[in-house]
Amino acid sequence: MIKQLFKFREMLLVVIIAMLLAVFSARSPGFAKPGNLANIFNDTSILIILALGQMTVILTKSIDLSVAANVAFTGMAIGMLNAAYPAMPLALIILIALGTGAVLGAINGLFVWKLNIPSIVVTLGTLTIYRGMAFVLSGGAWVNAHQMTAPFLQTPRQLFFGLPLLGWTAIVIVAIMYVVMSRTFLGRAIYASGGNPTAAVYAGIDVGRTRFYAFVISGTLAGLCGYLWVSRYAVAYVDIAAGFELDTVAACVIGGISTLGGIGSVAGAVLGSLFLGVIKNALPVINISPFSQMAISGSVIIAAVIFNARQERRRGRIILRDRGASEQIEVTA
Amino acid sequence: MSAVPEKRHIPDRLGTSVTRLFASWEALLVAVAAVIFIANALASPYFLNAWNLSDATFNFTEKAMVAFAMALLIIAGEIDLSVAAIIALASTAMGAAAQAGVGTPGLVAIGIGVGAGCGMINGILVAGLRLPSIVVTIGTMSLFRGIAYIVLGDKAYGGYPASFAYFGQGYVLWVFSFEFVLFAALAVLFAVLLHATNFGRRVYAIGNNEFAARFSGIHVERIKFTLFLLTGLMAGIAAVCLTSRLGSTRPSIAQGWELEIVTMVVLGGISILGGSGTIGGVVIAAFVMGLVTFGLGLLNVPGIVMSIFIGLLLITTITLPIIIRQFGHRKSA
């Protein structure tokens, strides 16, 4: 029955997104043309990838507010690397981006796993530290387009069947995450340790370790997005993706991922991201100031939280307070 | 009310070891403050000057005002991440009113009123609709600041009446600024409210065991609502002081303050899990943070690098007691 409810939830989002597209294309014909839709999807790709990482963390009853800072640091690091060593192959650069992101995510994860510190506090702290490190690394300087090599900038723009490689990357990540979340032990452990940490411990799942892996996944995806972001906008500076962590949380909340943990799906996170992406791309088309986007996403988050709470109808505990589970972990340790 | 209360060790009275721990925590903070003070005095010959020290207080007085209310909120097991956005919205409202020719008393009333109104919205969403405060206030954070962006865009408000400057720039007596005197008065007020009234005991009770508090006849929702209202109100007062001190309003005003305010509260020894901490600790933490940032400023450290220190301070102050406790556990086991 619960499964049907979520199918309903995702169908509802599909319908809402379709309606939005219909309304916007009524105002401006051509908005819903395949070419423009591919553009919107491509534009939303980075949000989709980051939202999937955020979803993994939120499912384990945690939150990762440092993703955008991770993007900024990794983006700056590989941007500078590319500028300093133009001969370095792109594959190696992407590997370094993934590794850097994974290390930053693992730092968050270690604090949450080994010291049982609430994830919101850890990631609020690392958010400023990672972005500060991007400043220390660059000295406040920018890496501009002319300093980057052509393969670094052009690869994500290659078109395949009308969609740039950036969009295809998102599709591949979505497919991988779908398999991981629904077909692997880790995926099921992630759901279990968020849905009922105490029961998960009794089922032989190491909740702390699972959270650690969730943070590593989120960090790795953020590292990948560091490369994608810098190559897409062809510039790296300290403030890139500032505040983007909120967009990823918003996408998850809109997609029906419960901030109490354990509830949510890959499809939900993707649809939540697309919802925000469609609105973002539609604002200029229907002549609304881009300055209003922040207030709109804020209102949508609040509406989605209210909607989720009504659907869940289940008493859970918020992310901050997790003493019961941590006590159980201590008992088993 | 169907949830099973979880297993938790609840002492019949506040244990002496707990009170001793907090006594020592505050003692430690005083020692840290003293060390930083001496280091500053040695590092810069200009530090030990009454006017210079008076200037240093502006670094923390406004944030500390909000931190007092936030402390109560965190003790009750909730959090408000929208405080900085409330300051921005209240400041924008005052700016718009000043453009319309409203006098100083009207401006103050508008600033505090908008703050209280925003706090009320948070209160209704969290206490009234029983939604998790982290997500709700992430949502209202982008909503409130989003409205400021819609109103102001890339422009700024200035032209406040001359008498309005008193709140942020005036001095009550010799080197004691209006802000500092207000900060001291509010510290006493909040200390009395938390430590010497029924209301304060109820706040602790909710934070320690909301379930038991409810069964003891405490109106949990009403108190949480009051706390959110109070936090909004204090953000409004901080907005009056900050706007008066800067003399202008941009939508990005007080950006990132929510992090510094939470850091101040946690540094002050208030458990992020709720239920314990004192206002005295927050007051000392305010001085510590103010001295650190002011000292780094005297040493020409850029703002974003300072934020690394704040982030490190936040994580270490939370990590340290946990590591110490874990060692204690291992010894006793």
Is residue B198's pLDDT more than 90? yes
Distance of residue B30 Cα from the nearest chain A Cα, in angstroms = 23
Q: How far is CA A43 from its chain centroid?
A: 14
Cα-atom radius of gyration of chain B, to the nearest Å?
20
Total residue count of chain B as it appears in this document: 333
pLDDT bin (cut points 50, 70, 90) of residue B324 is confident
pLDDT bin (cut points 50, 70, 90) of residue B22 is low
The confidence score (pLDDT) of residue B57 equals 86
Is the CB of A284 inside 8 Å of chain B's CB atoms?
no
The helix/strand/coil state of B72 is helix
Return the percentage of chain A with pLDDT > 90, whole number.
51
- Section A79-88 average pLDDT: 92
Mean pLDDT of chain A: 87
Is residue A5's pLDDT more than 60? no
Distance of residue A309 Cα from the nearest chain B Cα, in angstroms = 7
For residues A278 and A22, give the distance between their C-alpha atoms in angstroms, rounded to a whole number. Answer: 11
pLDDT bin (cut points 50, 70, 90) of residue A230 is very high
Domain ranges of chain B: 61-284
Of A116, A118, A289, the CB nearest to B150: A289
Is the CB of A128 inside 8 Å of chain B's CB atoms?
yes
Distance of residue A10 Cα from the nearest chain B Cα, in angstroms = 20
Of B131, B134, B302, the CB nearest to A306: B131
Is the CB of A305 inside 8 Å of chain B's CB atoms?
yes
Sequence-ordered list of residues with C-beta below 8 angstroms from that of A195, at least 6 positions apart, any chain: A261, A262, A263
A117/B315 Cβ within 8 A = yes
- Section A80-102 average pLDDT: 94
More confident residue, A99 or A121: A99
| Complex ipTM more than 0.95, yes or no | no
A127 neighbourhood in chain B, CB within 8 Å: 259, 311
Is residue B13's pLDDT more than 60? no
Is residue B282's pLDDT more than 80? yes
Is residue A96's pLDDT more than 50? yes
Mean pLDDT of chain B: 87
DSSP state of B249: B
Query: What is the phi-psi region of residue B217: left when phi exceeds 0, alpha when psi lies from -120 to 50, beta otherwise?
Result: left
B136/A294 Cβ within 8 A = no
Is the CB of A238 inside 8 Å of chain B's CB atoms?
yes
A111 neighbourhood in chain B, CB within 8 Å: 315, 319
B140 neighbourhood in chain A, CB within 8 Å: 298, 302
Of A115, A126, A260, the CB nearest to B132: A260
- Section A30-48 average pLDDT: 90
| 8 Å CB contact between B43 and B215 | no
The confidence score (pLDDT) of residue A30 equals 81
Is the CB of B126 inside 8 Å of chain A's CB atoms?
no
For residues B79 and B76, give the distance between their C-alpha atoms in angstroms, rounded to a whole number. Answer: 9
Is residue A7's pLDDT more than 70? no
Of A118, A140, A198, the CB nearest to B272: A118
pLDDT bin (cut points 50, 70, 90) of residue B2 is very low
- Section A184-212 average pLDDT: 93
The confidence score (pLDDT) of residue A208 equals 94
Q: Between A and B, how many residue pairs show a Cβ–Cβ distance under 8 A?
A: 163
Return the percentage of chain B with pLDDT > 90, whole number.
47
Q: What is the DSSP string of A61-72?
A: T---TTHHHHHH
Is residue A330's pLDDT more than 60? no
More confident residue, A75 or A287: A75
A320/B79 Cβ within 8 A = yes
More confident residue, A95 or B258: A95
A132/B307 Cβ within 8 A = yes
A246/B141 Cβ within 8 A = yes
Is residue B1's pLDDT more than 50? no
For residues A1 and A12, give the distance between their C-alpha atoms in angstroms, rounded to a whole number. Answer: 16
Domains of chain A: 2-15+31-332 (1.10.3470)
Q: How far is CA A151 from CA A86, A91, A94, A161, B269, in A?
A: 10, 10, 12, 20, 51
A116 neighbourhood in chain B, CB within 8 Å: 322
Among A143-147, B225-229, B326-330, the range scoring the smallest mean pLDDT is: B326-330
Is the CB of B140 inside 8 Å of chain A's CB atoms?
yes
Please count the helices (runs of H) and the strands (runs of E) in chain A: 14, 2
B6/A292 Cβ within 8 A = no
Smallest CA–CA distance from A260 into chain B, residue: B132
Is the CB of B34 inside 8 Å of chain A's CB atoms?
no
Name the residue among A190, A282, A232 with its Cα closest to residue A47: A232
For residues A294 and A130, give the distance between their C-alpha atoms in angstroms, rounded to a whole number. Answer: 24
CB-side exposure of B306: number of CA atoms within 13 Å?
A: 19
Q: For an interface test with A, which of B135, B270, B307 has the most A Cβ atoms less than 10 Å from its Cβ? A: B135
Total residue count of chain A as it appears in this document: 333
Distance of residue A155 Cα from the nearest chain B Cα, in angstroms = 33
The confidence score (pLDDT) of residue B275 equals 87
Is the CB of A124 inside 8 Å of chain B's CB atoms?
yes
A293 neighbourhood in chain B, CB within 8 Å: 146
Smallest CA–CA distance from B305 into chain A, residue: A132
Is residue B265's pLDDT more than 60? yes
Smallest CA–CA distance from A261 into chain B, residue: B132
CB-side exposure of B186: number of CA atoms within 13 Å?
A: 25
Is residue A177's pLDDT more than 50? yes
Is residue B121's pLDDT more than 90? yes
The confidence score (pLDDT) of residue A113 equals 93
Most confident of the ranges A87-96, A153-162, B172-181: A87-96
Query: What's the pTM value of the predicted model, to 2 decimals?
Result: 0.85
For residues B100 and A323, give the distance between their C-alpha atoms in angstroms, rounded to a whole number. Answer: 52
- Section A44-51 average pLDDT: 96
- Section A161-173 average pLDDT: 93
For residues A225 and A97, give the distance between their C-alpha atoms in angstroms, rounded to a whole number. Answer: 9
The confidence score (pLDDT) of residue B11 equals 52
pLDDT in tens, A264-318: 999 999 999 999 999 888 888 777 887 888 888 889 889 888 888 777 655 444 4
For residues B91 and B108, give the distance between their C-alpha atoms in angstroms, rounded to a whole number. Answer: 10
Taking a contact as any Cβ pair under 8 Å apart, which residues of chain B between 189 and 248 contact chain A? none
pLDDT bin (cut points 50, 70, 90) of residue B290 is confident
C-alpha dihedral (A248, B118, B202, B65), degrees to nearest 10 = 90
Q: Is B54 exposed, middle or buried (0-12, 13-18, 19+ CB in 10 A)?
A: middle
pLDDT bin (cut points 50, 70, 90) of residue B200 is very high
Return the percentage of chain B with pLDDT > 70, whole number.
91
